[in-house]
Chain A
Amino acid sequence: MDYAIEPRPAGTQSQGVEPGYPHTANRWPAQPLARRPHTASELSGPGNLMRRLAPVRGDLAGYGDKRAIGQLILVRARVVDEDGAPVPGAVVEVWHCNAAGKYIHPNDSNDAPADPNFYGAARVTAGDGGLVELRTIKPGAYPVPDSGGWWRPPHIHFSVWGRVWLSRLVTQMFFQDEPLNEHDAILNAIREPEARSRCIASLAPTAKGPADALVYEYQLVVRGRKAAPSL
């Protein structure tokens, strides 16, 4: 195999059951996870995923009288592997709530208004530098039902395919300097402070950005790196 997937440092990943998030104790396995050998099956993956999934445009904000309500933002996300090498062609799905904290989903019971001009989801392919750019509005915060006061900070969900099956990444991107970040049970499941801070997008200098939008920069590191040559 010319590509290797190595174990991740424990503090950089949730360990599964999180005290602040009751469902985790009903769903995360009680048995320890098994170690398996990695073969061609785990170290190959779907090349051109768009053979099965259709693209969905990366503009969630719209224009003119069809423009979604909220602060216009550009998210520049780069998909790289553990060597820091860009992953061109990586497919990236995103979804998030509107500026009032409401998702387009039948299961969202939050009593916040829908926005008819906001669709809230996209599926795009990374370019040569592993870069995807999303034009959208900044999502709002919202309360988690029956949670005793847990509010989710503004965040964008990401689903990413790397080079191989074991590179699959589903995560959430947070925003710099949001006070709710400090108390969020999902963000803080990443115990190691440095690893946690990498889940938070940073605001780029406004002087360099477009006139009408704030730019947030973010990096997604998918699992896998070139294997050391065998001696």
Chain B
Amino acid sequence: MKKLVPTGEMTLGPFFPREFAQGANDLTVVEGKAAHGEAIEISGRVTQLDGKALDNVVLEIWQAGADGRYDNPDFFGWGRAATDSDGVFIFRTIRPKGPQGRKAHVNFIVLYSGLMRQLQTAMFFEDSDDPVLNSVKHKDRLIAKKTGSYSYRFDIRLRGEGETPFFGD
């Protein structure tokens, strides 16, 4: 079969509708019901080359549930958040279990004005022997900092000092 070439990605631009970015950052509730598992909060700050915090950056996540599955009807592992004027985003979610062959992690994409393509990365809860975590040079930058019993901090530096590792094709 003839293979089609995927459409060229382009920047989200500065005018992504505000209301599209809101209201989808709480994964602990699915259709009005509490999802099974341990509720946690993941927050972070998104910065650019000069360290400036970025407003209205769109982040999307995809993760397994507390059972390590991606198709559990009682959990929906996708969410979206946008940064505020301090560059801060917050997700409320369920602590994932590592799916088969993987350690516990949350996939992220970053969409923003001036990003010509989506940036893909992943957050881990601890240094671990995971095939995706092992594929980056600075593993420590993909490991969230525990800031409380149920809260984690995952800062994203797009470019420059302490740059977050991102994944390509």
Contacts and interface: CB of A to CB of B under 8 A. Distances in A.
A204 interface: no
A52 B105 contact: no
Interface stretch (A65-73, A162-170, A175-183, A206-214): A162-170
B150 interface: no
Contact of A41 (B1, B78, B105): B105
A39 B132 contact: yes
Given A170-B12, A189-B116, A84 B2 contact: yes
B17 A23 contact: no
Nearest to A30: B159
Contacts of A195: 5, 8
Contacts of B12: 157, 159, 170
Interface in A145-199: 157, 159, 165-166, 168-172, 186-187, 189-190, 195-196, 198-199
- Identify which of B70, B114, B116, B120 gathers the most chain A CB atoms within 10 Å of its CB: B116
A80 interface: yes
B15 to A, nearest CB: 4
Question: Which of A13, A51, A121 neighbours the largest number of chain B CB atoms within 10 Å of its CB?
Answer: A13
Given A33-B167, A169-B6, A219-B7, 9 more contacts: A14-B10, A18-B116, A27-B112, A35-B167, A41-B64, A41-B70, A46-B77, A47-B71, A170-B118
Interface in B88-132: 99-102, 105, 107, 109, 111-120, 131-132
A27 B159 contact: yes
Interface residues of A, number: 78
B159 A83 contact: no
A121 B33 CA distance: 29
Contact of A121 (B7, B20, B50, B118): B20
A106 B9 CA distance: 25
Summarize A's interface: helix, strand, loop or mixed.
loop
Contacts of B100: 40
* The 3 nearest A-B residue pairs measured at CB: A33-B168, A23-B114, A14-B116
B99 A169 contact: no
Contacts of B17: 95, 104-105, 120-121
Contacts of A123: 20
Contacts of A80: 4
- Give the contact-size bracket for chain B: 35 or more
Interface in B1-35: 1-20, 24, 30-31
A33 B166 contact: yes
Contacts of B20: 93, 95, 121, 123
Query: Among B7, B24, B118, B167, which residue has the most Cβ atoms of chain A within 10 A?
Result: B7
B48 interface: yes
B84 interface: no
8 contacts: A27-B114, A34-B165, A52-B24, A95-B17, A165-B62, A165-B107, A168-B109, A172-B11
Contacts of B115: 24, 27-28
A104 B15 CA distance: 8
B83 interface: no
A31 B115 CA distance: 15
A55 B22 CA distance: 14
A221 to B, nearest CB: 5
A52 B79 CA distance: 8
Given A16-B117, A23-B113, A186-B116, A222 B135 contact: no
A27 B30 CA distance: 34
